[in-house]
Structure 1
Amino acid sequence: MTTNVLMRKRITQLFLIMGAFLLFLIGRLAWIQFVNGDKLSTEALENRMDDIKVPAKRGTIYDRNGKELVISISSDTVYAIPPEIKKPAETAKKLAEILGLKYEDIYKKITKRSNFVYIQRKVDPEISKKIKKLELPGIDIVEESQRSYPNGNLASHVLGFVGIDNYGLNGIEVTMEKELAGVPGRILIEKDSLGREIPQALHQYKPPQPGNSLVLTIDETIQYFVERELDNIVETYNPKSATIIVMEPKTGGILAMGNRPDFNPNKYGEYPQTSWRNPAIWLNYEPGSTFKVITAAAALEEGVVKPESRFYDPGYAVVSGERIKCWRYPRAHGSQSFEEVAQNSCNPGFIQVGLDLGRERFYKYIKAFGFGQKTGIPLVGEAKGIVIPEKQVKNINLATISIGQSISVTPIQLITAISAVANDGVLMKPQLVKEIRDSQGHLVRKIEPEPVRQVISRSTARQLAGILEKVVSQGTGKNAYMEEYPAAGKTGTAQKAGKGGYSSGKYIASFAGFAPVENPQVAILVVIDEPQGGTYYGGQIAAPVFKNVARDVLRYLNVRPRVSKTELEEKEKRKEVIVPDLINMPLTEAQDILRKAGLASNLEGSGQWVLNQQPKGGAKVLEKTPVILYVGPEAKSVPEGTEVTVPDLTGLTMREAGKLLGALGLKMNPEGSGVAASQKIEPGTKVKAGTTVKVIFLPPAPEPFP
């Protein structure tokens, strides 16, 4: 009895244990099936499926007129599915013969423990046809797209390039990657756990969706103008680098942007990586006298100066114990209006303006014009420039910044600021992309021009444009002068900074301007870094480039010239003559000299004595050009003791200086020979007749262009 009860208990315990275990199995099965079922199913699918991405066809890049700058062409890629290959040795041999590759390399690839390998990408269509005819098991061909740049090096820094996988690596190709790339396709291949072929296996190809296309602000024709001039610069001056940017002031649209050195995006790997960088957006350089446009804009807007304000240049300025020379030193500009200060690019005049502005007001405009910050142009690698923190600025810094030293800018910053002056004081964000369109050509999004801020008033901008026009027509920018299209601009020659100061013999020559003055259509910046051959002044080598580009661009844009074609042809037939120096001559004698030189004369004032002239002596003009003579009554003998005003003798010969002083009753104590470089009694000083004025004469030197 006892034994039976014990047996029943043991049997019951066994059933309970088995029941509990069975319940556990049911619970575990339910957990796997209903809770983790989807996850495990996905993992199982992933474990037996290979998913290979196929890059999509990238969108086309057009210029503003719809001309193709970048296209995608179809190319074939040969790939292998190793588990499906029946005879690897024979297959490798046949592929090696057709593709021109090593047998060992192909055999190694197709015998790998893998479900997918590339044999060769982007092969010639004729080669892919031969491979298809062989119908090799495990070998297949898929269509990919290959980027092509039909114009070679044209606008290479703007366009950029893509890598082997069709991902953007440089230029607009990388910044607009999301729009251009499209949606990749897929190759799906089913396998077993050992990577072997499965009967009736799944092998699918999902085609990619092409990317959107871009319409740029770049104009292919204008870009060609720029590239032509860059090639001429390289051939003539062999610089370290050169940059030209053409911008539309009203919109901020970049019509052209070119650099040397450059590269061919189709073969970018054959060029040094340093040539891939875009100097137009990353080069930090001291702008020199081109920055005087910013100084003048701030001073005019703040009412610190007027065009007629008077300045005196002794050839240098002393600030905080430091002597800063004018580019013309030891010759001085003497007494001049602010308008003439700009025409002559006079350093002491601009230094005085900068100091009068003061740190707070000057920096307000430096920041407002966009210096010390990125412009936001859609290209990689843009630099901010280098601006001394406002709190650390001293008077000596203000003085040097006002003439374009102690501050570094980028070319894109400077052309954007110059365009703001041309655009009635409104600063625009640089624009490269106008429209985004889908693969069928339908408009996806239009990108409107983006105003940033009103930097200076319209009246100040127009006033400054008038001053800059005279810089081109009468001042240091004469080599940029165009008879048919009046231009405004400023030259720049900056010595490059090095260790412990400025580097001897290393300069950056530049010219920045816009045209036509009355209705600016283009703003152009030319920057030439370290030109060789001994000529490095911006007015000599950069200004003519500006003229060549501006003239061709304005004609191409059908901008109406100020003078007719017939008038231009007549003027082109006229010879170029040198204007004689007529100051302090009797009027009849001066007019006779002009007639013999083939020049006309216009009179301002009354009298028989030439007090001043325009253009100045030494200027080159076309024959029959009128020379304005400012005349007045000839000075008579002045009784000794009478108060008279000391004149400005700068630039006069010893004979001319003596004649002028004698007419005023003053005596001269000359020292040296040549032309008057300085005088001990400053112009404008009231003295008594009979006073002796010591005048320093120096040999005349060729006048450089700042």
Structure 2
Amino acid sequence: MKAPRNKRLMGKRNPRRNRQKFGGFFLFLLVGVFLLFVFRFSYIVVSGRINDENLTEKANALYESSTVLRAKRGTIYDANGSPIAEDSTTYSIYAVLNKNYIGVNKKKLYVTDKAKVAQVLSKYLPLTQAAILKRLNPANTKTFQVEFGSAGQGLSLAIKQAIEKANLSGIYFTETPSRLYPNGIFASHQIGLAQTKTSTTNNVAAQNLTGTMGLEKTLNSTLTGTNGIKEVKKDSYGYQLPNTKTKKKAAKNGKNVYLTLDTRLQTYLESLLTTTQTKYDPVEMNAVLMNPKTGQIVAAAQRPTFNPSTGSGLGSFWRDTLVGDAYEPGSVMKAFTLAAAINSNKYSPNTTYQSGSISIGGTTVHDWNNSGWGTLPLSKAFPYSSNVGFVHIEQTMGKTTWLNYIKKFHFLNTTNSLLAGELKGSIQFEHTSDQAVTSFGQGINVTVMQMMQGFSAIANDGKEMQPQIVSKVVDPTTGKTTKYKPHQVGTPITKSTADQVLKAMQDVTYKSYGTGQSYQIPGYKIATKTGTAQISSANGGGYLTGSNNYIFSVVGMAPANDPKYVLYITMKQPQKMTESATQILAGVFDPMMKRALDYDAGTVATATQTKMPSVSGKSVTAATAALKKKNLQVVQVGTGNTVVQQMPLAAEVVLDDQRALLLTNGAMTMPDLTGWSKSDVLKLAELTGKKITIKGTGYVTKQSLAAKGLLNSATKITVTLSKP
């Protein structure tokens, strides 16, 4: 019984046998690991990948440097070839403070002389030496680099080059592509805006300009070029490796776009609207000047607007109201009602009616003066702008015929004008009362461009022209030109009908009972139609009340016998209605139409307009001399002797005797604002970044901060305007 137990003990105590077993297992494990290593290594060699990363690409990345060659965005020009929007480059400055930032041969690449840096930068940035030194000595001593806020951003090439000449250690610049809009406020919502966005070319990120509104957006694919790429093999020090070639794919620039806008007339229109906005403060205002023979838009503007170069005024108002607002046009619609009635042989001018009021479909329609003018022939309904008369005209014509002409004039459809965000409009036409009120511009919603398209038929012998703002596109690489020819969308009325409507529109201007007498222009025959449209309340409960709660409008065609221009102006809810709506609109219409007609006749010189020179970076003395040669009023804001910013911007169109504001280095100081307009005060606020409270209307008579007082961050500024 003991022998088996001894055998088991001997087996457990046999070290040689145990070692053999362990050795075999270890060898098997070692062979397995070796095979796994061989397999893994073979996979890496064959595939060139590890952990889903391409080793070849990573190795090449150590020695290859790729640079994006940025394509130039196409330039937008006016009708005469002057640039409206073009590519530019701005620079931002920063300072490296970390003393570990050392280059080849232990060259110090950080700021070594803070006092010198502060002294030099104070000449070119709107910051004092003390303010700059404070930034160069941050509380956190481990800070690698510092920037200088908005004062150090958006610098011009001239300012950058001037700072670089001082050879300041530790001072660097970043480059940002930007879009230059040299005319400032200039059909801003129609031209639009291009802003910087990051895109990738061959895995290399680059900043590019992308259209975000207006024509910059709708024509983005046309204006945008294709970036190129430059690849160079370099060593660890950044030098190109010998016997290697540079690979380069050239950039393809975007195409240039030419518009129909005339800078002379556009600038004048903007000036007139700014004056009206400042004086009467309308909620919205639109104005369009068009050549009805071609449909080409010569000038177009809206309020509110913004300066695309600075972003001032943009806020949240991105809508192009010429196509993006649908509104009830009011009595200017009567021009189309009259045209439809005449053209359909449903107009009896000698038929009389009782003005004042009429009941239709359970609704009572009143004339604008409520009591009317007694018994009138239908021929006087148009110059009197009688709503009751036009209800009679619509009833005689019939709802089917009238709706057919609304469609013939291409209302309820977009004009395809290339402007962004265009609406189709709408109509209420179910009930008899709905049909009746559309005859005088209620119950139908239109856009400004739809109205312009319709007006062209009346001014152009019955031929309706599509509104056109782009004249051609040119490829700068090949020279290929694509022209946008005038496009006739239809012939809703005959030449005879158009002539009769123009005659009726002259009655509006020249008859003693016409509503458009304020739009007479000496030396020219003018055909007009006025409008006063009610505004629907926000809750849908009828229309707003109050003397200013209307959309006031006027359309004019001149010369009346053969119109070369159609000018249409709308003004919504002027908040400071110190004059009648007709007087306010005439303040824009009369000088604008006269200027256009005078230009056409060759009787106006253009010497009153010039381009703002670039004076940033120059001494105050040199800048003042240059601006006075342009007949501009020079206003210095600051105690320094070098100009760091200017307003208006370089290349903007300016008028004789316009104020030019120069922000200098050193402390900002308050100029004497006596006699300044509201728009000039707003420019000062934009230039200095200070909030200025404006009270009253007219021109500045008082200012809370005296002239030459310091404009520091704690300063509260109030200016008082009074009428002369």
Using the size of structure 2 for normalisation, the TM-score is 0.63
Shift of the alpha carbon at 1:251?
Answer: 1.5
Whole-angstrom CA distance in 2 between matches of 1:420 and 1:109: 72
Asked whether the equivalents of residues 74 and 257 of structure 2 are also in contact (C-alpha less than 8 Å), the reply is: yes
Q: Give the equivalent residue in structure 2 for 1:380.
A: 420
Residue 450 of structure 2 aligns to a residue whose secondary structure is: helix
Asked whether the equivalents of residues 386 and 409 of structure 1 are also in contact (C-alpha less than 8 Å), the reply is: yes
The answer to which of 314-323 and 370-379 deviates more is 370-379
CA, structure 1 residues 357+95, in 2 after alignment: closer, same or farther (shift >3 Å)?
Answer: farther
Q: Give the equivalent residue in structure 2 for 1:279.
A: 321
AA at the equivalent of 1:368: K
Q: Give the equivalent residue in structure 2 for 1:296.
A: 338
Asked whether the equivalents of residues 225 and 254 of structure 2 are also in contact (C-alpha less than 8 Å), the reply is: yes
* Per-residue deviation, residues 183-230 of structure 1 (Å, max 9, x unmatched): 345576989xxxxx9345669897855433222100111113322332
Asked whether the equivalents of residues 132 and 140 of structure 1 are also in contact (C-alpha less than 8 Å), the reply is: no
Asked whether the equivalents of residues 291 and 404 of structure 1 are also in contact (C-alpha less than 8 Å), the reply is: yes
Q: Give the equivalent residue in structure 1 for 2:560.
A: 517
Asked whether the equivalents of residues 88 and 111 of structure 1 are also in contact (C-alpha less than 8 Å), the reply is: no
* Per-residue deviation, residues 547-570 of structure 1 (Å, max 9, x unmatched): 332222111012899xxxxxxxxx
CA, structure 1 residues 199+328, in 2 after alignment: closer, same or farther (shift >3 Å)?
Answer: closer
Residue 546 of structure 1 aligns to a residue whose secondary structure is: helix
Whole-angstrom CA distance in 1 between matches of 2:448 and 2:376: 34
Alignment of 1:204-219 (within 5 A): 209-219=252-262
AA at the equivalent of 2:309: N
Shift of the alpha carbon at 1:164?
Answer: 4.5
CA, structure 1 residues 289+154, in 2 after alignment: closer, same or farther (shift >3 Å)?
Answer: same
Q: Does 1:485 align with 2:524?
A: yes
Shift of the alpha carbon at 1:74?
Answer: 4.6
Residue 299 of structure 1 aligns to a residue whose secondary structure is: helix
Whole-angstrom CA distance in 2 between matches of 1:105 and 1:182: 43
* Per-residue deviation, residues 236-268 of structure 1 (Å, max 9, x unmatched): 433222221101112211100122332222211
Residue 407 of structure 2 aligns to a residue whose secondary structure is: helix
CA, structure 1 residues 423+559, in 2 after alignment: closer, same or farther (shift >3 Å)?
Answer: farther
Whole-angstrom CA distance in 2 between matches of 1:44 and 1:352: 85
Q: Give the equivalent residue in structure 1 for 2:6.
A: none
Residue 310 of structure 2 aligns to a residue whose secondary structure is: helix
Residue 267 of structure 1 aligns to a residue whose secondary structure is: coil
AA at the equivalent of 2:260: T
Whole-angstrom CA distance in 1 between matches of 2:320 and 2:522: 34
Q: Does 1:127 align with 2:160?
A: yes
Residue 69 of structure 1 aligns to a residue whose secondary structure is: strand
Whole-angstrom CA distance in 1 between matches of 2:286 and 2:551: 11
Using the size of structure 1 for normalisation, the TM-score is 0.64
Q: Does 1:223 align with 2:255?
A: no
Residue 497 of structure 1 aligns to a residue whose secondary structure is: coil
1:327 to 349, 368, 386: 368
Shift of the alpha carbon at 1:394?
Answer: 0.7
Q: Give the equivalent residue in structure 1 for 2:577.
A: 533
Whole-angstrom CA distance in 2 between matches of 1:334 and 1:354: 18
CA, structure 1 residues 78+459, in 2 after alignment: closer, same or farther (shift >3 Å)?
Answer: same
Residue 402 of structure 1 aligns to a residue whose secondary structure is: helix
Residue 240 of structure 1 aligns to a residue whose secondary structure is: strand
CA, structure 1 residues 218+481, in 2 after alignment: closer, same or farther (shift >3 Å)?
Answer: same
CA, structure 1 residues 57+109, in 2 after alignment: closer, same or farther (shift >3 Å)?
Answer: farther
Same amino acid, percent of matched pairs: 30
Whole-angstrom CA distance in 2 between matches of 1:362 and 1:92: 81
Residue 501 of structure 1 aligns to a residue whose secondary structure is: coil
AA at the equivalent of 2:195: G
Q: Does 1:469 align with 2:506?
A: yes
Q: Which has the larger radius of gyration?
A: 1
Q: Does 1:158 align with 2:158?
A: no
Alignment of 1:536-547 (within 5 A): 536-538=580-582, 540-543=583-586, 545-547=588-590
Asked whether the equivalents of residues 101 and 110 of structure 2 are also in contact (C-alpha less than 8 Å), the reply is: no
Asked whether the equivalents of residues 63 and 219 of structure 1 are also in contact (C-alpha less than 8 Å), the reply is: yes
CA, structure 1 residues 104+394, in 2 after alignment: closer, same or farther (shift >3 Å)?
Answer: farther
* Per-residue deviation, residues 568-625 of structure 1 (Å, max 9, x unmatched): xxxxxxxxxxxxxxxxxxxxxxxxxxxxxxxxxxxxxxxxxxxxxxxxxxxxxxxxxx
Q: Give the equivalent residue in structure 1 for 2:434.
A: 397
Whole-angstrom CA distance in 1 between matches of 2:386 and 2:161: 69
Alignment coverage as a number of residue pairs: 536
CA, structure 1 residues 18+343, in 2 after alignment: closer, same or farther (shift >3 Å)?
Answer: closer
Whole-angstrom CA distance in 2 between matches of 1:224 and 1:75: 26
AA at the equivalent of 2:327: Y
CA, structure 1 residues 544+28, in 2 after alignment: closer, same or farther (shift >3 Å)?
Answer: closer
Q: Does 1:318 align with 2:359?
A: yes
Q: Does 1:444 align with 2:444?
A: no
Shift of the alpha carbon at 1:525?
Answer: 0.3
CA, structure 1 residues 97+386, in 2 after alignment: closer, same or farther (shift >3 Å)?
Answer: farther
Shift of the alpha carbon at 1:325?
Answer: 0.9
CA, structure 1 residues 33+514, in 2 after alignment: closer, same or farther (shift >3 Å)?
Answer: same
Whole-angstrom CA distance in 2 between matches of 1:109 and 1:419: 69
Asked whether the equivalents of residues 57 and 145 of structure 1 are also in contact (C-alpha less than 8 Å), the reply is: no
Whole-angstrom CA distance in 2 between matches of 1:397 and 1:120: 57
Q: Does 1:61 align with 2:76?
A: yes
Alignment of 1:401-412 (within 5 A): 401-412=438-449
CA, structure 1 residues 40+454, in 2 after alignment: closer, same or farther (shift >3 Å)?
Answer: farther
Asked whether the equivalents of residues 307 and 314 of structure 2 are also in contact (C-alpha less than 8 Å), the reply is: no
Q: Does 1:435 align with 2:468?
A: no
Q: Does 1:264 align with 2:307?
A: yes
Whole-angstrom CA distance in 2 between matches of 1:548 and 1:231: 14
Q: Give the equivalent residue in structure 1 for 2:284.
A: 241
Q: Give the equivalent residue in structure 2 for 1:415.
A: 452
Whole-angstrom CA distance in 1 between matches of 2:350 and 2:284: 39
Whole-angstrom CA distance in 1 between matches of 2:423 and 2:308: 23
Asked whether the equivalents of residues 468 and 489 of structure 1 are also in contact (C-alpha less than 8 Å), the reply is: yes
AA at the equivalent of 1:533: M
AA at the equivalent of 2:325: L
* Per-residue deviation, residues 374-399 of structure 1 (Å, max 9, x unmatched): 222222233333323x5xx1101011
Whole-angstrom CA distance in 2 between matches of 1:527 and 1:109: 60
Q: Does 1:175 align with 2:218?
A: yes
Residue 410 of structure 2 aligns to a residue whose secondary structure is: coil
Whole-angstrom CA distance in 2 between matches of 1:50 and 1:38: 19
Whole-angstrom CA distance in 2 between matches of 1:263 and 1:96: 35
Whole-angstrom CA distance in 2 between matches of 1:298 and 1:109: 79
Asked whether the equivalents of residues 258 and 473 of structure 2 are also in contact (C-alpha less than 8 Å), the reply is: yes
Whole-angstrom CA distance in 2 between matches of 1:553 and 1:106: 62
Q: Give the equivalent residue in structure 1 for 2:662.
A: none
AA at the equivalent of 1:310: T
AA at the equivalent of 2:236: I
Shift of the alpha carbon at 1:439?
Answer: 4.3
Residue 562 of structure 2 aligns to a residue whose secondary structure is: coil
Q: Give the equivalent residue in structure 2 for 1:576.
A: none
Bigger relative contact order (CA 8 A; separation at least 6): 2
Q: Give the equivalent residue in structure 2 for 1:147.
A: 179
Whole-angstrom CA distance in 2 between matches of 1:179 and 1:374: 22
Shift of the alpha carbon at 1:407?
Answer: 1.8
CA, structure 1 residues 39+456, in 2 after alignment: closer, same or farther (shift >3 Å)?
Answer: farther
Asked whether the equivalents of residues 425 and 447 of structure 2 are also in contact (C-alpha less than 8 Å), the reply is: yes
